[in-house]
Amino acid sequence: MLRMKTLTFSLLAGFSLAGGHASAGTGDLAVPRCAPEPLAQAEQGARVVRYRKNIDELTPDELDAFKHAVSEMKRKSQENVYDRRGFLWQAWVHNCTSVDVFNDRQAALPGDRLKQLLGDPTRNSCDVAYFLDKVATEDNAHEEFPGECEHQKNTFLQWHRAQLYFYEQALQAADPNGERGPSTRNVALPYWNFTRKPSGVRYPKAFEDVDSPLYDATRKREGLDSSLATASPNLLAYQIYYMDWADFGGDEYGSLGGGNLETKIHNHMHATYMGGNMADNVTAGLDPLFYAFHNFLDYSFEKWLDEHGDAGIRGSGRTSYMRSEQDASLRRPIGWNAGSGDDQRSDSGDYTANMGQAGLYFDTIRQGYGFQPRYGGEFARKKDIQALIDRHQQAGFVFGANQKSLFAALLSDDAADGAVARPDLTVTAAYKIPARRVASDKRANMVLDRAHADEDYSFQADIYMYPASVSARIGDKSFRDRYLVTSTSHWALSGAHQHDKYVIETDITGIVDSLVPKKRGQTWRITAAITTNDKGRSLIRQGDFSTPVIRLVDRRKPAEPTYEESKP
């Protein structure tokens, strides 16, 4: 089982460093990528750049072509579940580490059987015994390995970018000559900007049409109160503009847990907001919304690269091969090589043994796609985020003195991803404000440990810090706004990623230091309010969680590890 940690963003670690200094520091790292240099002539010929657009801004013809492509991919899977260009195989890519494949690589799903499979999140779609009449044996079948997603490490965004790269090519290859409908040759995968109010009841309208191939009957369908945005645009923009790679995208091999984009935004969306097939990483790819959702995360990754460049992404974040077996007819990324992995199998048809190394995907234009609007118009502006920070970090700032903490302000009242008023359980510990600020070579980490769960489950942890003289009125919004330190989510993962232990570790040096001058020696409390989803409600126990503590740890980063070439 994996033992994971998560980090919150750096301004909680150093409130006094905000303002012009933070802005200037980010500017020093900025590498403009929105207007790339012209490609070499050979690469221009090899890659026609297509721009991915907001699903709500597609023209009627573009939407029709996209829907037709998804429909055709589903038809391919009905005719043969082992067609790697089909919808089912592409869903398997996300986390079906192996499937039984008949030696002739043929098995049909006639009638409504594919629809039934896609509509039942409890069925193991990776096990063909659940939905094929023919029984796989050692004599008539062999194993193939569609894919294994990356989560809670520094290859999370790169792996999913590679997955979308091949999925988009499968869309384009669905009916390129328009023999069954509009040509799919120029389809670009649209994205769903979930930081805006949905055009439908809960999702983009295109995904709520029950007669559309984009519809999934398993996801939650309740409308949002006041048609709120799903996730906060301010929190996302803060992560993009002010976080380094380890905080934004994840650190080496998950030793400090997933990046903030994953733990503060992605996990909540999967585990709490969408549900159904999207609630489990094995079935998530069965919902067409998965690809539009992750495409906006990919756009966020692209915006981060525009701001910071890729020089800070090192080690396995560059060299790892992205695990998946794709159809050989789908174009590989420029620079692809097979690496030193297993030899090609003779019983598995023509396939690409992996999706290439992570570093190949840093330059999307070179690989044939970009995003519209090209200059990141889907994101809040940096100057507006800086102004929000400045309002919460005046001279002499003390945590708890504002009506809203910085984190609460970043979440905003216009999004549905805020702290929960009625959690399933709480754990509380006392904390004495120290006499001196945290030493420059140290940091103060708030640690919450889930070490005792018998079975993994998703949960959201809202962490509050407040004077002992104040009652923990979590049901009161004014309390939640004033004393919220952070809110983070864990998405229970299945298969190879499953784990029962989980540690949330949040750097709150800035909060502690702000309290020392005026509050030294006072007793405060730290409360973790834990909320799970419907699946986890029968699993969560009070004793699963330790009481939260604040630990002083060494701020100095360990020496950069050395790496052999990462194998696929």
Residue 115 has pLDDT above 70, yes or no: yes
Which of 63, 23, 47 is CA-nearest to residue 171? 63
Residue 349: pLDDT over 50: yes
297/278 Cα distance (integer angstroms): 15
pLDDT over 90 for what percent of the chain? Answer: 74
Around 334, how many Cα atoms within 13 Å sit in the side-chain half-sphere?
Answer: 17
Which of 491, 499, 497, 540 has the alpha carbon at shortest distance from 273? 491
The more confidently predicted of residues 226 and 50 is: 50
Residues 154, 158, 164: CA angle, nearest 5 degrees: 150
CA distance to 73, 90, 150, 352, 551, per residue, from 178 (Å): 14, 21, 35, 26, 62
Per-residue pLDDT, 255: 57
The per-residue pLDDT for range 187-209, each reduced to its tens digit, is 999 999 999 999 999 999 999 99
The C-alpha angle 350, 332, 157, rounded to 5 degrees, equals 120
Q: In the prediction, which pLDDT does 45 show?
A: 47
Q: Which residues contact residue 479 at a Cβ distance below 8 angstroms, ignoring those fewer than 6 apart?
A: 464, 466, 470, 472, 473
pLDDT at 556: 60
Summary mean pLDDT of the chain: 88
For 409, other C-beta atoms within 10 Å of its C-beta total 21
Please choose, from the candidates 201, 176, 178, 204, the residue with its C-alpha nearest in 3D space to the C-alpha of residue 190.
Answer: 204
pLDDT confidence band for 176 (50 / 70 / 90):
very high
Burial-class residue 248 by CB neighbours within 10 Å (0-12, 13-18, 19+): buried
Encode pLDDT of 11-26 as tens digits: 454 433 333 333 333 2
Tokens, residue 384? 């507006």
Pairwise CA distance, residues 187 & 68, whole Å: 10
Question: CA dihedral in degrees (447, 450, 451, 457; nearest 10)?
Answer: -150
For residue 495, what pLDDT band results from cuts at 50, 70 and 90? low
- 451's CB contacts (< 8 A; 6+ apart) are 501, 503, 544, 546
Residue 499: the pLDDT is: 60
Token readout for 197 is 């109010």
For residues 283 and 276, give the distance between their C-alpha atoms in angstroms, rounded to a whole number. 9
Distance CA 527, CA 374 (A): 43
pLDDT band of residue 254 (cuts 50, 70, 90) is low
SS3 431: strand
The pLDDT assigned to 498 comes to: 55
What's the start-to-end Cα distance of the chain, in Å? 21
Please list, in sequence order, all residues whose beta carbon lies within 8 angstroms of the beta carbon of residue 196, skipping any fewer than 6 positions away.
229, 233, 378
pLDDT-derived band at 347 (thresholds 50, 70, 90) equals very high
* Residue 466 binned pLDDT confidence (cut-offs 50, 70, 90): very high
Q: How many whole angstroms separate alpha carbon 184 and alpha carbon 550?
A: 55
Cβ-Cβ contacts under 8 Å for 247 (sequence gap 6 or more): 7, 9, 10, 239, 259, 260
H runs (alpha helix) in 323-381 = 364-367
Minimal CA–CA distance to 147: which of 160, 134, 136, 157?
Answer: 160
How far apart CA 193 and CA 204 sit, in angstroms, is: 9
Nearest Cα residue to 407 out of 506, 308, 547, 476: 506
Taking the C-alpha atoms of residue 174 and residue 260, their distance in angstroms, rounded to an integer, is 35
pLDDT of residue 393: 84
3-state secondary structure of 274: helix
| Helix (H/G/I), strand (E/B), else coil: 563 | coil
- Mean pLDDT value across residues 414-438: 95
Q: CB within 8 A of 498, min separation 6: which ones? A: 1, 456, 492
